[in-house]
Amino acid sequence: MVALLKSLAVLAVAVLPALAQVDTGVRCGDWDTVKIAPYTLYQNLWGKSSSTGSQCSNFISKNGNTVSWKTTWNWTRGSGGVKSYANVELTDGVGNRQLSSIKSLQSTWNWNQSGSGDVVTNIAYDLFTSTSPGGNNAVEIMIWLANYNAGPISYNWNADGTAKPIVSNLNIAGRAWNLYEGSNGANQVFSFLPTNNARVTSFSGDINLFVKYLTSNRGLPASQYLKVFQAGTEPTSGSATVTTTSYSAAIV
């Protein structure tokens, strides 16, 4: 019994420092960041000047490679543009990996959203590539898990003003997606959205499958490098809280 108690005491001492490393403080600054390896939480209120409002984000917990976090915002529509992209980025291990060398980008993401008013936002993965290690962003790849009254960047539009996909009903990672293509003014942008405006509140799959589709079918050079691998939300207006109950990502 004494030996057991000593073992439990040692275990408790070993666990407590790990728990203490989780910074759950709420951040409300435009460019605030919180590092909890292998991730970094970014506030990233890059478009707030076109509106009035506020947004705050924080980590909730970490268990192994899985984190939970949330972001809460209240934005007026203003000029109608995106106000922010609060996100968790996999910052350890990405390191400008060449696309051809990546075997998998496995990720799980479980989330929920509560909101009021004219909520316009998405829930999306966001990846950027470059043509050289450490180079400028070249191509943006987005995988939307939900679309709340927003829309992807697109070159093509339907008569009703909605974006027109370049490919429909792609089966990737066990789900059906529509693919859109456009430009954000600086980069070519590919956006995968669930068909029928579905909201994927629980995702588990290999994000690299989307990248491989683009290198095999849409001319994305496999010689480019992965610069950024993020998961977050892009609000335009309304009041809402997005809570990620569990998120993990790993690159191999």
User: Which candidate, 155, 64, 69, places its Cα nearest to that of 111?
Assistant: 69
Buried b (16+ CB within 10 A) or exposed e, 86-109: bbbbbbeebeebebeebeebebeb
The yes-or-no verdict on residue 92 having pLDDT over 50 is: yes
The yes-or-no verdict on residue 18 having pLDDT over 80 is: no
C-alpha span between 37 and 17 (Å, rounded): 14
Amino acid at the residue 114: S
Q: What is the pLDDT of residues 108-140, one digit of tens each?
A: 999 999 998 889 999 999 999 999 998 999 999
With residue 14 as reference, give the H or E element that holds it.
helix 2-20
Q: What is the pLDDT of residues 181-196, one digit of tens each?
A: 999 999 999 999 999 9
**CA 56 from centroid of its chain's CA atoms:** 16
Q: Taking the domains of the chain in order of start, what are their residue ranges?
A: 24-251
With residue 215 as reference, give the H or E element that holds it.
helix 208-217
C-alpha span between 66 and 63 (Å, rounded): 5
Of 18 and 180, more confident: 180
First to last CA, the chain: 44
Give pTM, 2 decimals.
0.91
Residues forming the active site: 140, 234
Q: Which CATH architecture has domain 24-251?
A: Sandwich (2.60)
The yes-or-no verdict on residue 83 having pLDDT over 50 is: yes
User: Which candidate, 15, 17, 16, 35, places its Cα nearest to that of 25?
Assistant: 35
